[in-house]
Structure 1
Amino acid sequence: MWRSAKWSMRISFIHRTLPDCCGRAILGREGRIFHRSGGVTLLEALRLDGPPRRVAIVTGGSRGLGREMARSLMLAGADVCIASRTPAQLEATAAFLAEQSGREPLTVATDITSSAECDRLIEATVEHFGRLDIMVNNAGIGDSPGRGKAVWEIEDEDWLGGIAVNLNGTFYCTRAALRHMRPQESGAILNIASGMGMRATPQSPTYAAAKAGVINFTQTVASAVARDGIRVNCITPGLVEQRPTETEEEAEAIRKRGSYITARRLGQAWELGPLALFLCSDASSYVTGANYPIDGGGLAGGIAPTGHAPDEVEARTDG
Protein backbone atom coordinates (compact mmCIF):
# COMPACT_ATOMS: atom_id res chain seq x y z
CA MET A 1 0.00 0.00 0.00
CA TRP A 2 2.83 2.44 0.76
CA ARG A 3 4.61 3.77 -2.31
CA SER A 4 6.37 6.91 -1.13
CA ALA A 5 7.20 8.70 2.10
CA LYS A 6 5.28 11.72 0.88
CA TRP A 7 2.01 9.78 1.19
CA SER A 8 0.82 9.39 4.77
CA MET A 9 -2.12 7.14 3.99
CA ARG A 10 -3.79 5.34 1.10
CA ILE A 11 -6.99 3.44 1.71
CA SER A 12 -8.90 1.39 -0.84
CA PHE A 13 -12.66 1.55 -1.23
CA ILE A 14 -14.91 -0.38 -3.60
CA HIS A 15 -17.62 1.42 -5.61
CA ARG A 16 -17.95 4.25 -3.12
CA THR A 17 -17.52 8.00 -3.15
CA LEU A 18 -16.82 10.05 -0.07
CA PRO A 19 -17.66 13.76 -0.45
CA ASP A 20 -16.34 16.40 1.86
CA CYS A 21 -18.74 18.86 3.44
CA CYS A 22 -18.89 20.86 0.21
CA GLY A 23 -19.55 17.82 -1.98
CA ARG A 24 -16.17 17.68 -3.70
CA ALA A 25 -14.83 14.14 -3.98
CA ILE A 26 -11.76 13.56 -1.86
CA LEU A 27 -11.10 10.12 -3.30
CA GLY A 28 -8.50 9.40 -5.91
CA ARG A 29 -8.78 6.91 -8.77
CA GLU A 30 -10.25 3.49 -8.10
CA GLY A 31 -11.87 4.79 -4.93
CA ARG A 32 -8.62 5.43 -3.07
CA ILE A 33 -8.33 8.28 -0.62
CA PHE A 34 -5.02 10.06 -0.30
CA HIS A 35 -3.73 12.21 2.54
CA ARG A 36 -0.42 13.76 1.51
CA SER A 37 1.75 15.27 4.21
CA GLY A 38 1.67 19.03 3.72
CA GLY A 39 -0.84 18.73 0.87
CA VAL A 40 -3.49 20.93 2.49
CA THR A 41 -2.74 23.38 5.25
CA LEU A 42 -5.12 24.07 8.10
CA LEU A 43 -5.62 27.61 6.84
CA GLU A 44 -6.59 26.29 3.42
CA ALA A 45 -9.08 23.86 4.97
CA LEU A 46 -10.67 26.70 6.93
CA ARG A 47 -11.36 28.80 3.83
CA LEU A 48 -14.98 29.06 2.70
CA ASP A 49 -14.49 31.05 -0.50
CA GLY A 50 -14.56 28.00 -2.75
CA PRO A 51 -15.02 27.40 -5.49
CA PRO A 52 -17.87 27.31 -4.95
CA ARG A 53 -18.16 29.98 -2.26
CA ARG A 54 -20.01 28.51 0.72
CA VAL A 55 -23.35 29.97 1.72
CA ALA A 56 -24.37 30.06 5.38
CA ILE A 57 -27.41 31.00 7.45
CA VAL A 58 -26.99 32.12 11.06
CA THR A 59 -30.18 32.44 13.11
CA GLY A 60 -30.03 34.81 16.03
CA GLY A 61 -27.37 36.49 13.93
CA SER A 62 -28.02 40.11 14.84
CA ARG A 63 -26.06 40.19 18.10
CA GLY A 64 -23.93 38.30 20.59
CA LEU A 65 -22.80 34.82 19.67
CA GLY A 66 -24.65 34.84 16.35
CA ARG A 67 -23.02 38.05 15.20
CA GLU A 68 -19.55 36.77 16.05
CA MET A 69 -20.10 33.43 14.31
CA ALA A 70 -21.43 35.21 11.22
CA ARG A 71 -18.37 37.46 11.27
CA SER A 72 -15.98 34.48 11.43
CA LEU A 73 -17.74 32.78 8.51
CA MET A 74 -17.71 35.92 6.38
CA LEU A 75 -14.04 36.64 7.10
CA ALA A 76 -13.28 33.09 5.94
CA GLY A 77 -14.99 33.84 2.64
CA ALA A 78 -18.58 32.63 3.06
CA ASP A 79 -21.67 34.46 1.91
CA VAL A 80 -23.95 34.75 4.93
CA CYS A 81 -27.61 35.34 5.66
CA ILE A 82 -28.32 36.57 9.19
CA ALA A 83 -31.79 36.04 10.64
CA SER A 84 -33.43 37.61 13.67
CA ARG A 85 -36.83 38.80 14.84
CA THR A 86 -35.57 42.39 15.12
CA PRO A 87 -35.15 44.22 11.77
CA ALA A 88 -33.37 47.23 13.31
CA GLN A 89 -30.72 45.03 14.91
CA LEU A 90 -30.35 43.09 11.67
CA GLU A 91 -29.60 46.24 9.70
CA ALA A 92 -27.05 47.46 12.24
CA THR A 93 -25.28 44.10 12.26
CA ALA A 94 -25.37 43.90 8.46
CA ALA A 95 -23.52 47.22 8.29
CA PHE A 96 -20.95 45.96 10.80
CA LEU A 97 -20.38 42.71 8.88
CA ALA A 98 -20.10 44.53 5.56
CA GLU A 99 -17.45 46.82 7.02
CA GLN A 100 -15.55 43.84 8.44
CA SER A 101 -15.69 41.58 5.37
CA GLY A 102 -16.17 43.86 2.39
CA ARG A 103 -19.34 42.00 1.35
CA GLU A 104 -23.00 42.56 2.16
CA PRO A 105 -24.80 39.85 4.13
CA LEU A 106 -28.41 39.00 3.39
CA THR A 107 -30.85 39.84 6.19
CA VAL A 108 -34.17 38.06 6.71
CA ALA A 109 -36.44 38.92 9.64
CA THR A 110 -37.52 35.53 11.00
CA ASP A 111 -39.47 34.15 13.94
CA ILE A 112 -37.99 30.67 14.34
CA THR A 113 -40.98 29.46 16.35
CA SER A 114 -42.89 29.42 13.04
CA SER A 115 -42.12 26.54 10.69
CA ALA A 116 -43.45 28.60 7.76
CA GLU A 117 -41.03 31.44 8.51
CA CYS A 118 -38.12 29.00 8.81
CA ASP A 119 -39.04 27.56 5.41
CA ARG A 120 -39.19 31.09 4.01
CA LEU A 121 -35.75 31.88 5.46
CA ILE A 122 -34.11 28.95 3.71
CA GLU A 123 -35.91 29.63 0.43
CA ALA A 124 -34.96 33.32 0.49
CA THR A 125 -31.31 32.43 1.06
CA VAL A 126 -31.20 29.86 -1.75
CA GLU A 127 -32.99 32.25 -4.10
CA HIS A 128 -30.51 35.04 -3.30
CA PHE A 129 -27.23 33.08 -3.27
CA GLY A 130 -28.14 30.03 -5.35
CA ARG A 131 -27.26 27.37 -2.77
CA LEU A 132 -27.01 26.54 0.94
CA ASP A 133 -23.99 24.87 2.53
CA ILE A 134 -24.03 25.82 6.21
CA MET A 135 -26.91 26.13 8.70
CA VAL A 136 -26.10 27.60 12.13
CA ASN A 137 -29.02 27.20 14.55
CA ASN A 138 -28.14 29.78 17.17
CA ALA A 139 -31.40 31.61 17.96
CA GLY A 140 -32.75 31.03 21.42
CA ILE A 141 -33.69 32.74 24.67
CA GLY A 142 -31.42 32.27 27.68
CA ASP A 143 -33.98 33.96 29.92
CA SER A 144 -36.45 31.25 28.96
CA PRO A 145 -40.13 31.32 29.96
CA GLY A 146 -40.51 29.65 33.34
CA ARG A 147 -36.99 30.52 34.49
CA GLY A 148 -36.84 30.69 38.26
CA LYS A 149 -39.98 28.58 38.72
CA ALA A 150 -40.07 25.13 40.26
CA VAL A 151 -41.37 22.37 38.00
CA TRP A 152 -44.73 22.31 39.77
CA GLU A 153 -45.10 26.07 39.27
CA ILE A 154 -44.48 26.14 35.51
CA GLU A 155 -47.53 26.97 33.42
CA ASP A 156 -48.28 25.30 30.08
CA GLU A 157 -47.47 28.50 28.21
CA ASP A 158 -44.08 28.75 29.95
CA TRP A 159 -43.15 25.22 28.94
CA LEU A 160 -44.45 25.44 25.39
CA GLY A 161 -42.92 28.87 24.82
CA GLY A 162 -39.49 27.78 26.00
CA ILE A 163 -39.51 24.61 23.91
CA ALA A 164 -40.77 26.53 20.86
CA VAL A 165 -37.89 28.99 20.72
CA ASN A 166 -35.07 26.82 22.10
CA LEU A 167 -35.80 23.46 20.43
CA ASN A 168 -38.54 23.69 17.81
CA GLY A 169 -36.71 26.42 15.90
CA THR A 170 -33.65 24.19 15.57
CA PHE A 171 -35.84 21.42 14.19
CA TYR A 172 -37.71 23.66 11.74
CA CYS A 173 -34.54 25.20 10.28
CA THR A 174 -32.69 21.87 10.14
CA ARG A 175 -35.58 20.19 8.33
CA ALA A 176 -35.81 22.98 5.77
CA ALA A 177 -32.03 23.09 5.26
CA LEU A 178 -31.80 19.33 4.73
CA ARG A 179 -34.32 19.53 1.90
CA HIS A 180 -31.67 21.50 -0.01
CA MET A 181 -28.53 19.82 1.31
CA ARG A 182 -29.52 16.22 0.66
CA PRO A 183 -29.96 16.60 -3.12
CA GLN A 184 -26.54 18.27 -3.38
CA GLU A 185 -25.04 15.60 -1.06
CA SER A 186 -23.18 18.11 1.06
CA GLY A 187 -23.66 20.47 3.97
CA ALA A 188 -22.74 21.34 7.53
CA ILE A 189 -25.25 22.04 10.29
CA LEU A 190 -24.15 23.58 13.58
CA ASN A 191 -26.47 23.73 16.58
CA ILE A 192 -25.92 25.85 19.68
CA ALA A 193 -26.90 24.23 22.97
CA SER A 194 -25.92 25.11 26.56
CA GLY A 195 -24.13 23.57 29.51
CA MET A 196 -27.51 23.69 31.22
CA GLY A 197 -28.57 20.91 28.85
CA MET A 198 -25.87 18.61 30.23
CA ARG A 199 -26.67 18.72 33.95
CA ALA A 200 -29.56 19.13 36.34
CA THR A 201 -30.65 22.77 36.34
CA PRO A 202 -33.50 23.25 38.83
CA GLN A 203 -33.67 27.02 38.29
CA SER A 204 -34.55 26.67 34.59
CA PRO A 205 -36.08 23.27 33.77
CA THR A 206 -37.67 24.40 30.50
CA TYR A 207 -34.44 25.80 29.05
CA ALA A 208 -32.39 22.85 30.31
CA ALA A 209 -34.78 20.33 28.76
CA ALA A 210 -34.82 22.18 25.43
CA LYS A 211 -31.03 22.39 25.22
CA ALA A 212 -30.64 18.73 26.19
CA GLY A 213 -32.99 18.04 23.30
CA VAL A 214 -30.77 20.06 20.95
CA ILE A 215 -27.75 17.94 21.91
CA ASN A 216 -29.55 14.65 21.31
CA PHE A 217 -31.18 16.00 18.15
CA THR A 218 -27.70 16.82 16.85
CA GLN A 219 -26.52 13.24 17.32
CA THR A 220 -29.71 11.78 15.88
CA VAL A 221 -29.67 13.88 12.71
CA ALA A 222 -25.92 13.35 12.27
CA SER A 223 -26.41 9.59 12.19
CA ALA A 224 -29.28 9.92 9.71
CA VAL A 225 -27.50 12.08 7.12
CA ALA A 226 -23.82 11.13 7.38
CA ARG A 227 -24.02 9.03 4.22
CA ASP A 228 -25.52 11.99 2.40
CA GLY A 229 -22.28 13.93 2.90
CA ILE A 230 -23.84 16.17 5.56
CA ARG A 231 -22.24 16.78 8.95
CA VAL A 232 -24.14 17.89 12.07
CA ASN A 233 -22.37 19.12 15.20
CA CYS A 234 -23.10 21.13 18.32
CA ILE A 235 -21.39 23.78 20.44
CA THR A 236 -22.29 23.99 24.12
CA PRO A 237 -21.35 27.39 25.54
CA GLY A 238 -21.11 28.15 29.22
CA LEU A 239 -21.79 31.67 30.41
CA VAL A 240 -20.72 34.26 27.87
CA GLU A 241 -20.60 38.01 28.38
CA GLN A 242 -22.33 39.38 25.31
CA ARG A 243 -23.00 43.05 26.06
CA PRO A 244 -21.04 45.85 27.73
CA THR A 245 -22.01 46.47 31.33
CA GLU A 246 -23.72 49.77 32.06
CA THR A 247 -22.91 50.17 35.75
CA GLU A 248 -20.12 49.26 38.13
CA GLU A 249 -22.61 47.09 40.02
CA GLU A 250 -23.24 45.02 36.89
CA ALA A 251 -19.51 44.72 36.22
CA GLU A 252 -18.90 43.50 39.76
CA ALA A 253 -21.77 41.01 39.50
CA ILE A 254 -20.26 39.58 36.30
CA ARG A 255 -16.80 39.34 37.87
CA LYS A 256 -18.28 37.53 40.86
CA ARG A 257 -20.26 35.19 38.66
CA GLY A 258 -17.16 34.41 36.63
CA SER A 259 -15.33 33.39 39.81
CA TYR A 260 -17.55 30.29 39.99
CA ILE A 261 -16.15 29.00 36.68
CA THR A 262 -12.97 26.94 36.50
CA ALA A 263 -11.25 29.53 34.28
CA ARG A 264 -12.31 32.23 36.76
CA ARG A 265 -13.93 34.38 34.11
CA LEU A 266 -16.89 34.50 31.76
CA GLY A 267 -16.43 33.71 28.09
CA GLN A 268 -16.43 36.37 25.39
CA ALA A 269 -18.74 36.13 22.38
CA TRP A 270 -15.87 36.28 19.88
CA GLU A 271 -14.35 33.10 21.36
CA LEU A 272 -17.07 30.96 19.74
CA GLY A 273 -16.32 32.24 16.24
CA PRO A 274 -13.17 30.19 15.52
CA LEU A 275 -14.77 26.98 16.80
CA ALA A 276 -17.87 27.58 14.68
CA LEU A 277 -15.67 28.17 11.63
CA PHE A 278 -13.78 24.93 12.26
CA LEU A 279 -17.00 22.91 12.51
CA CYS A 280 -18.47 24.49 9.36
CA SER A 281 -15.34 24.05 7.22
CA ASP A 282 -13.41 21.23 5.57
CA ALA A 283 -11.01 21.30 8.52
CA SER A 284 -13.59 19.17 10.37
CA SER A 285 -14.59 16.98 7.41
CA TYR A 286 -14.44 13.80 9.56
CA VAL A 287 -16.30 15.29 12.52
CA THR A 288 -20.04 14.70 12.89
CA GLY A 289 -22.42 14.01 15.76
CA ALA A 290 -20.06 15.75 18.19
CA ASN A 291 -20.79 18.18 21.00
CA TYR A 292 -18.11 20.73 21.91
CA PRO A 293 -18.37 22.46 25.30
CA ILE A 294 -16.72 25.88 25.33
CA ASP A 295 -17.18 26.94 28.92
CA GLY A 296 -13.84 27.73 30.54
CA GLY A 297 -13.73 24.24 32.02
CA GLY A 298 -17.05 24.72 33.77
CA LEU A 299 -18.46 21.26 33.11
CA ALA A 300 -15.12 19.67 33.97
CA GLY A 301 -14.81 21.66 37.20
CA GLY A 302 -17.75 20.06 38.95
CA ILE A 303 -18.67 23.12 41.04
CA ALA A 304 -21.29 25.35 39.40
CA PRO A 305 -20.19 23.90 36.04
CA THR A 306 -22.18 26.29 33.89
CA GLY A 307 -21.23 29.26 35.99
CA HIS A 308 -24.52 29.50 37.83
CA ALA A 309 -23.74 31.34 41.00
CA PRO A 310 -26.37 32.15 43.64
CA ASP A 311 -29.30 34.31 42.60
CA GLU A 312 -27.85 37.48 44.12
CA VAL A 313 -25.10 37.61 41.49
CA GLU A 314 -27.32 37.25 38.43
CA ALA A 315 -25.93 39.47 35.66
CA ARG A 316 -26.60 40.52 32.08
CA THR A 317 -25.27 37.37 30.48
CA ASP A 318 -26.70 34.56 28.41
CA GLY A 319 -25.84 30.91 29.03
Structure 2
Amino acid sequence: MGEDHFWAIRGGGASFGVILSWKIKLVSVPEVVTFFLVKKLIKQGATTSITDLVYRWQQVVDTLPQDIFIRLEMSVEKNESIQFQFFGQYLGQSYTLLSIMNQQFPELGLQQKDCIESSWIETTLYWDNKPKGTSLGSLLYRMVNQSFPFKVKSDYVITPIPKAVLEELWKKMIKMGIGMIMQWNPYGGRMNQISESETPFPHRSGYKFLIQYWYYTQDNSKVESLRKLYDFMAPHVSQSPREAFLNYRDLDIGTNQNGANSSIFGAKYFKGNFERLVRVKTKVDPDNFFRNEQSIPPLPK
Protein backbone atom coordinates (compact mmCIF):
# COMPACT_ATOMS: atom_id res chain seq x y z
CA MET A 1 0.00 0.00 0.00
CA GLY A 2 2.99 2.27 0.29
CA GLU A 3 4.75 3.76 3.31
CA ASP A 4 2.51 6.84 3.63
CA HIS A 5 -0.75 4.89 3.48
CA PHE A 6 0.55 2.37 6.02
CA TRP A 7 1.59 5.23 8.29
CA ALA A 8 -1.83 6.89 8.03
CA ILE A 9 -3.96 3.87 8.96
CA ARG A 10 -2.07 3.36 12.23
CA GLY A 11 -3.78 6.16 14.11
CA GLY A 12 -5.29 8.44 11.48
CA GLY A 13 -8.90 7.46 12.08
CA ALA A 14 -11.47 5.86 9.79
CA SER A 15 -10.59 7.89 6.71
CA PHE A 16 -8.49 5.69 4.46
CA GLY A 17 -10.38 2.47 3.69
CA VAL A 18 -11.54 -0.75 5.30
CA ILE A 19 -8.90 -2.97 6.91
CA LEU A 20 -9.69 -6.64 6.29
CA SER A 21 -6.73 -8.25 8.06
CA TRP A 22 -3.63 -7.27 9.94
CA LYS A 23 -0.61 -8.62 11.78
CA ILE A 24 0.57 -7.47 15.18
CA LYS A 25 3.93 -7.83 16.89
CA LEU A 26 3.60 -9.13 20.44
CA VAL A 27 5.77 -8.07 23.34
CA SER A 28 6.88 -10.19 26.27
CA VAL A 29 5.39 -9.81 29.75
CA PRO A 30 6.32 -11.66 32.95
CA GLU A 31 4.34 -14.75 33.94
CA VAL A 32 3.22 -12.94 37.10
CA VAL A 33 2.09 -9.30 37.13
CA THR A 34 0.46 -7.27 39.90
CA PHE A 35 -2.82 -5.36 39.76
CA PHE A 36 -3.80 -3.01 42.59
CA LEU A 37 -6.61 -0.68 43.58
CA VAL A 38 -6.62 2.00 46.29
CA LYS A 39 -9.89 3.80 47.03
CA LYS A 40 -10.52 7.09 48.82
CA LEU A 41 -14.03 8.43 49.48
CA ILE A 42 -14.04 12.13 50.28
CA LYS A 43 -17.01 14.27 51.28
CA GLN A 44 -17.38 17.94 50.47
CA GLY A 45 -15.46 20.14 52.90
CA ALA A 46 -12.88 17.47 53.76
CA THR A 47 -10.76 17.48 50.61
CA THR A 48 -7.35 18.76 51.74
CA SER A 49 -5.76 15.33 52.13
CA ILE A 50 -6.99 14.02 48.78
CA THR A 51 -5.92 17.25 47.07
CA ASP A 52 -2.39 16.79 48.40
CA LEU A 53 -2.41 13.16 47.20
CA VAL A 54 -3.69 14.00 43.71
CA TYR A 55 -1.15 16.81 43.39
CA ARG A 56 1.62 14.39 44.33
CA TRP A 57 0.27 11.84 41.81
CA GLN A 58 0.66 14.49 39.10
CA GLN A 59 4.28 15.06 40.11
CA VAL A 60 5.43 11.44 40.06
CA VAL A 61 3.14 9.43 37.81
CA ASP A 62 5.04 10.06 34.55
CA THR A 63 8.44 9.51 36.19
CA LEU A 64 7.81 6.09 37.74
CA PRO A 65 9.51 3.05 36.14
CA GLN A 66 7.85 2.36 32.79
CA ASP A 67 6.53 -1.02 33.95
CA ILE A 68 4.22 0.74 36.49
CA PHE A 69 0.94 2.31 35.37
CA ILE A 70 -1.40 4.15 37.79
CA ARG A 71 -4.72 5.49 36.52
CA LEU A 72 -6.73 7.93 38.65
CA GLU A 73 -10.51 7.83 38.33
CA MET A 74 -12.87 10.22 40.11
CA SER A 75 -16.63 9.71 40.25
CA VAL A 76 -19.35 11.68 42.04
CA GLU A 77 -21.22 9.54 44.55
CA LYS A 78 -24.29 10.17 46.70
CA ASN A 79 -24.24 12.50 49.74
CA GLU A 80 -22.06 15.06 47.95
CA SER A 81 -18.93 12.94 47.91
CA ILE A 82 -16.32 11.92 45.35
CA GLN A 83 -14.72 8.50 45.12
CA PHE A 84 -11.06 8.56 44.07
CA GLN A 85 -9.75 5.25 42.73
CA PHE A 86 -6.09 4.61 41.95
CA PHE A 87 -5.97 1.65 39.55
CA GLY A 88 -2.50 0.29 38.97
CA GLN A 89 -0.60 -2.46 37.22
CA TYR A 90 3.02 -3.52 37.54
CA LEU A 91 4.85 -5.95 35.27
CA GLY A 92 6.31 -7.90 38.14
CA GLN A 93 5.58 -9.30 41.59
CA SER A 94 4.01 -7.37 44.43
CA TYR A 95 6.99 -7.37 46.82
CA THR A 96 9.08 -5.50 44.23
CA LEU A 97 6.21 -3.12 43.50
CA LEU A 98 5.75 -2.29 47.19
CA SER A 99 9.45 -1.54 47.55
CA ILE A 100 9.38 0.87 44.59
CA MET A 101 6.19 2.57 45.74
CA ASN A 102 7.47 3.02 49.30
CA GLN A 103 10.46 4.86 47.87
CA GLN A 104 8.88 6.89 45.06
CA PHE A 105 5.20 7.31 45.95
CA PRO A 106 4.70 6.52 49.66
CA GLU A 107 1.84 9.04 49.85
CA LEU A 108 -0.50 6.55 48.18
CA GLY A 109 -0.09 4.14 51.10
CA LEU A 110 -0.12 1.02 48.93
CA GLN A 111 -0.26 -2.20 50.97
CA GLN A 112 -0.04 -5.90 50.24
CA LYS A 113 -3.80 -6.30 50.76
CA ASP A 114 -4.41 -3.89 47.85
CA CYS A 115 -2.47 -6.12 45.42
CA ILE A 116 -3.50 -9.10 43.31
CA GLU A 117 -0.86 -11.22 41.59
CA SER A 118 -2.01 -12.99 38.43
CA SER A 119 -1.27 -13.54 34.76
CA TRP A 120 -1.50 -10.50 32.49
CA ILE A 121 -4.69 -11.72 30.77
CA GLU A 122 -6.42 -12.16 34.13
CA THR A 123 -5.84 -8.50 34.98
CA THR A 124 -8.21 -7.53 32.16
CA LEU A 125 -10.99 -8.86 34.39
CA TYR A 126 -9.93 -6.62 37.28
CA TRP A 127 -9.77 -3.55 35.05
CA ASP A 128 -13.39 -4.34 34.16
CA ASN A 129 -14.33 -4.50 37.86
CA LYS A 130 -14.94 -8.25 37.80
CA PRO A 131 -14.58 -9.96 41.20
CA LYS A 132 -11.51 -12.08 41.93
CA GLY A 133 -12.06 -15.64 40.76
CA THR A 134 -14.11 -14.72 37.67
CA SER A 135 -13.51 -17.17 34.82
CA LEU A 136 -11.50 -15.99 31.82
CA GLY A 137 -14.28 -17.47 29.71
CA SER A 138 -16.45 -14.52 30.69
CA LEU A 139 -14.37 -12.38 28.33
CA LEU A 140 -16.03 -14.20 25.43
CA TYR A 141 -19.55 -13.28 26.53
CA ARG A 142 -19.45 -9.59 27.32
CA MET A 143 -22.51 -7.43 26.70
CA VAL A 144 -22.28 -3.74 25.87
CA ASN A 145 -24.67 -1.66 27.96
CA GLN A 146 -25.93 1.18 25.78
CA SER A 147 -28.88 2.21 27.94
CA PHE A 148 -27.14 5.27 29.41
CA PRO A 149 -26.24 8.12 27.03
CA PHE A 150 -23.12 10.08 27.87
CA LYS A 151 -20.95 12.96 26.67
CA VAL A 152 -17.14 12.79 26.54
CA LYS A 153 -14.41 15.42 26.26
CA SER A 154 -10.62 15.27 26.70
CA ASP A 155 -7.50 17.25 27.56
CA TYR A 156 -3.74 16.82 27.83
CA VAL A 157 -1.84 18.05 30.88
CA ILE A 158 1.80 19.16 30.68
CA THR A 159 2.36 20.79 34.08
CA PRO A 160 0.68 19.83 37.39
CA ILE A 161 -2.70 21.42 38.04
CA PRO A 162 -2.40 23.69 41.14
CA LYS A 163 -3.98 22.60 44.41
CA ALA A 164 -6.36 25.57 44.51
CA VAL A 165 -7.66 24.60 41.08
CA LEU A 166 -8.11 20.99 42.19
CA GLU A 167 -10.17 22.13 45.17
CA GLU A 168 -12.43 24.14 42.87
CA LEU A 169 -12.65 21.19 40.47
CA TRP A 170 -13.96 18.91 43.22
CA LYS A 171 -16.67 21.47 44.03
CA LYS A 172 -17.78 21.76 40.42
CA MET A 173 -17.92 17.98 40.04
CA ILE A 174 -20.08 17.60 43.17
CA LYS A 175 -22.41 20.29 41.88
CA MET A 176 -22.85 18.34 38.62
CA GLY A 177 -23.94 15.31 40.62
CA ILE A 178 -23.97 11.55 40.09
CA GLY A 179 -22.92 10.57 36.59
CA MET A 180 -19.88 12.85 36.44
CA ILE A 181 -16.62 10.91 36.06
CA MET A 182 -13.07 11.96 35.31
CA GLN A 183 -10.34 9.54 34.29
CA TRP A 184 -6.69 10.61 34.32
CA ASN A 185 -4.34 8.29 32.41
CA PRO A 186 -0.58 8.81 32.85
CA TYR A 187 1.94 9.13 30.05
CA GLY A 188 5.72 9.11 30.34
CA GLY A 189 7.68 5.85 30.22
CA ARG A 190 7.72 4.23 26.78
CA MET A 191 5.63 7.10 25.39
CA ASN A 192 8.62 9.43 25.83
CA GLN A 193 10.77 7.22 23.59
CA ILE A 194 8.57 7.44 20.48
CA SER A 195 8.72 10.37 18.06
CA GLU A 196 5.49 12.36 17.68
CA SER A 197 5.66 11.72 13.90
CA GLU A 198 6.29 7.96 14.16
CA THR A 199 2.53 7.43 13.75
CA PRO A 200 -0.31 9.95 13.32
CA PHE A 201 -0.75 9.96 17.12
CA PRO A 202 1.45 12.90 18.20
CA HIS A 203 0.97 13.16 21.98
CA ARG A 204 4.25 11.63 23.17
CA SER A 205 7.14 13.14 25.10
CA GLY A 206 6.44 15.92 27.60
CA TYR A 207 2.87 15.02 28.51
CA LYS A 208 2.05 14.07 32.08
CA PHE A 209 -1.41 12.60 31.59
CA LEU A 210 -4.59 12.54 29.54
CA ILE A 211 -7.92 13.65 31.02
CA GLN A 212 -11.20 12.06 30.01
CA TYR A 213 -14.31 13.96 31.09
CA TRP A 214 -17.23 11.53 31.15
CA TYR A 215 -20.79 12.60 32.00
CA TYR A 216 -23.65 10.10 32.03
CA THR A 217 -26.92 11.96 31.62
CA GLN A 218 -30.21 11.65 29.77
CA ASP A 219 -30.81 15.39 30.12
CA ASN A 220 -29.23 17.25 27.21
CA SER A 221 -29.42 20.50 29.14
CA LYS A 222 -26.98 19.09 31.69
CA VAL A 223 -24.34 18.59 29.00
CA GLU A 224 -23.81 22.35 29.13
CA SER A 225 -22.45 21.99 32.67
CA LEU A 226 -19.77 19.65 31.31
CA ARG A 227 -18.84 22.23 28.70
CA LYS A 228 -18.51 24.84 31.45
CA LEU A 229 -16.23 22.50 33.42
CA TYR A 230 -14.15 22.03 30.27
CA ASP A 231 -13.90 25.82 29.89
CA PHE A 232 -12.80 26.12 33.53
CA MET A 233 -9.90 23.76 32.86
CA ALA A 234 -8.64 25.65 29.80
CA PRO A 235 -5.78 27.58 31.53
CA HIS A 236 -4.37 24.39 33.07
CA VAL A 237 -4.05 22.09 30.05
CA SER A 238 -2.17 22.07 26.73
CA GLN A 239 -2.28 25.28 24.69
CA SER A 240 -1.99 26.37 21.05
CA PRO A 241 -3.63 24.10 20.21
CA ARG A 242 -5.62 22.77 23.14
CA GLU A 243 -5.08 19.12 22.28
CA ALA A 244 -7.61 16.28 22.37
CA PHE A 245 -7.62 12.48 22.09
CA LEU A 246 -9.15 11.13 18.87
CA ASN A 247 -10.79 8.08 20.48
CA TYR A 248 -12.75 10.27 22.92
CA ARG A 249 -14.62 11.73 19.95
CA ASP A 250 -15.85 15.25 20.72
CA LEU A 251 -17.84 17.05 18.02
CA ASP A 252 -17.75 20.27 20.07
CA ILE A 253 -14.23 20.96 18.82
CA GLY A 254 -15.29 20.99 15.17
CA THR A 255 -16.91 18.98 12.41
CA ASN A 256 -15.98 18.35 8.83
CA GLN A 257 -17.94 20.58 6.44
CA ASN A 258 -16.39 19.79 3.08
CA GLY A 259 -13.00 20.21 4.69
CA ALA A 260 -13.62 23.83 5.64
CA ASN A 261 -13.28 23.42 9.41
CA SER A 262 -11.10 20.34 9.49
CA SER A 263 -7.87 22.15 10.37
CA ILE A 264 -9.36 23.10 13.76
CA PHE A 265 -10.04 19.59 15.08
CA GLY A 266 -7.21 18.21 12.92
CA ALA A 267 -4.61 20.22 14.82
CA LYS A 268 -6.09 19.21 18.19
CA TYR A 269 -6.05 15.49 17.37
CA PHE A 270 -2.94 15.24 15.18
CA LYS A 271 -0.88 18.46 15.57
CA GLY A 272 1.69 18.67 12.75
CA ASN A 273 0.78 15.23 11.43
CA PHE A 274 -2.54 16.53 10.09
CA GLU A 275 -1.00 17.96 6.91
CA ARG A 276 0.59 14.62 6.02
CA LEU A 277 -2.71 12.84 6.67
CA VAL A 278 -4.45 15.23 4.26
CA ARG A 279 -1.86 14.49 1.56
CA VAL A 280 -2.31 10.74 2.02
CA LYS A 281 -6.11 11.09 1.94
CA THR A 282 -5.91 13.11 -1.29
CA LYS A 283 -3.83 10.38 -2.89
CA VAL A 284 -5.74 7.26 -1.79
CA ASP A 285 -9.33 8.58 -1.50
CA PRO A 286 -9.64 11.80 -3.54
CA ASP A 287 -13.45 11.47 -3.76
CA ASN A 288 -13.77 11.28 0.05
CA PHE A 289 -15.76 8.04 0.05
CA PHE A 290 -14.60 7.12 3.58
CA ARG A 291 -15.85 10.02 5.67
CA ASN A 292 -17.48 10.97 8.95
CA GLU A 293 -17.99 14.15 10.98
CA GLN A 294 -14.29 14.35 11.85
CA SER A 295 -12.59 12.38 9.10
CA ILE A 296 -9.51 13.55 7.24
CA PRO A 297 -10.57 15.55 4.15
CA PRO A 298 -8.81 15.44 0.77
CA LEU A 299 -7.48 18.62 -0.78
CA PRO A 300 -9.92 20.32 -3.17
CA LYS A 301 -9.65 19.11 -6.74
TM-score w.r.t. length of structure 2: 0.26
Asked which structure has the greater RCO (Cα within 8 Å, sep 6+), the reply is 2
Query: Which one has the bigger helix percentage?
Result: 1
